[in-house]
Every structure is written in structure tokens, then in C-alpha cells.
């Protein structure tokens, strides 16, 4: 049986970082909301301190602004804190700086081939599809199947999107 779509992807530090960025919003939703709330509270509280205490509250207000800035940074770009360690783990698993893999999409299953072995997924295993600038991530439970947009060989990316959306929507 011939696959309907074939994707060749090179996993690297850049693809790992982009995957972390794409999945950060999905996997850290509540945490991000909490961090943005802390940031907003800290900024408003700092403003109130400056208004009520004037120059006497400058040090405390500055500290609150730093707390707000840190919470806002982690809420928006927290994945950067985790991407380096995630890449180091991946690199140790791969045994190299990069990993070449081929993913074949058949009518009834998905098969991934790499030097680490072969994995097969059913379309019903896909819980979400997330799109980045140069990648698409198919969430399979807590795992992620990363595909480079420019890695499709049998058809183009737009045809693949139409196909995979029909498969996911059947779930």
C-alpha cells in the first residue's frame, strides 16, 4: 500500500525550539493566564504605590515592576527556559545533533521511520494539530509528532492540511 503523503523532517535545535513555542500556548494555558494576572497586578499595584506614596514608594514600586516584568516574560516566552534542556534530552536520545525521520500518511494510519525505529499511530490517537511558521505538530496524547512544512514529497502542504483535518474531525 502506497502512502497518500510522505514527509521528511530533520529534527534539530531550531525545530525543537519552534515546537516548544507552538506547544507552549496549548500546554501552559492556565499557567500563562496566572502569570499574566500576576504581571498585571504587580504593574497596577506599583502604580498605586507611586501614586499614594510618591518618591517614598519608589523602591517598592520598582520591585513590583520587576516582578511584573518577570512574570510577563515567563508567561509570554517561558518555553525559551525549557527549550535548551528539551533539546539536550532529544540530542542524547538521538545520539547526534539532528535526527532524520520520514513520516508516511496512509488512509488508515501514520508510520514514522527513523534510526530509532518505527512508530505507528492511528488517526484517532491525534488529540490536536498545532501550526507554526515552518512546522506542524500533531499531538498524540502527551507526545508530539513534528513535521516540517517544506518536507512533504508526495503532495503539497495545503493538500496535506485538508487531508489531516478530515481525519482529525472524524475523531
pLDDT in tens, 35-53: 788 888 888 888 888 888 8
- Confidence bin at 93 (pLDDT 50/70/90): low
pTM of the entire predicted model: 0.70
Alpha carbon distance 22, 136 (integer Å): 9
Lowest-confidence segment of 18-27, 54-63, 131-140 by average pLDDT = 18-27
Give Dmax (Cα) for the chain: 76
* pLDDT of residue 67 exceeding 60: yes
What the block records as the C-alpha cell of 86 is 528539551
Residue 86 reports pLDDT greater than 70? yes
The average pLDDT across 14-33 equals 73
Show the DSSP H helices in 28-107 as ranges.
Answer: 29-53, 58-77, 79-94
Alpha carbon distances (Å) from 43 to 46, 71, 73, 128: 5, 11, 13, 35
Sign of the Cα torsion 80, 91, 147, 128 reads negative
CB atoms closer than 10 angstroms to residue 67:
17
Amino acid at each position: 500500500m502506497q502512502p497518500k503523503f510522505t514527509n521528511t523532517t530533520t529534527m534539530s535545535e531550531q525545530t525543537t525550539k519552534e515546537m516548544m513555542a507552538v506547544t507552549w500556548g496549548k500546554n501552559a494555558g492556565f499557567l500563562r493566564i496566572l502569570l499574566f494576572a500576576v504581571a498585571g497586578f504587580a504593574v497596577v499595584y506599583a502604580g498605586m504605590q507611586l501614586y499614594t506614596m510618591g518618591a517614598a514608594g519608589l523602591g517598592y514600586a520598582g520591585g513590583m515592576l520587576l516582578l511584573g516584568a518577570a512574570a510577563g516574560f515567563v508567561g509570554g516566552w517561558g518555553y525559551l527556559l525549557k527549550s535548551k534542556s528539551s533539546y539536550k534530552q532529544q540530542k542524547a536520545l538521538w545520539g547526534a545533533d539532528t535526527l532524520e525521520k520520514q513520516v508516511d500518511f496512509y488512509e488508515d494510519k501514520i508510520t514514522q521511520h527513523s534510526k530509532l525505529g518505527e512508530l505507528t499511530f492511528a488517526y484517532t490517537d491525534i488529540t490536536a494539530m498545532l501550526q507554526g511558521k515552518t512546522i506542524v505538530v500533531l499531538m498524540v496524547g502527551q507526545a508530539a509528532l513534528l513535521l516540517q512544512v517544506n518536507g512533504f514529497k508526495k503532495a503539497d502542504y495545503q493538500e496535506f492540511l485538508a487531508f489531516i483535518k478530515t481525519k482529525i474531525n472524524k475523531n
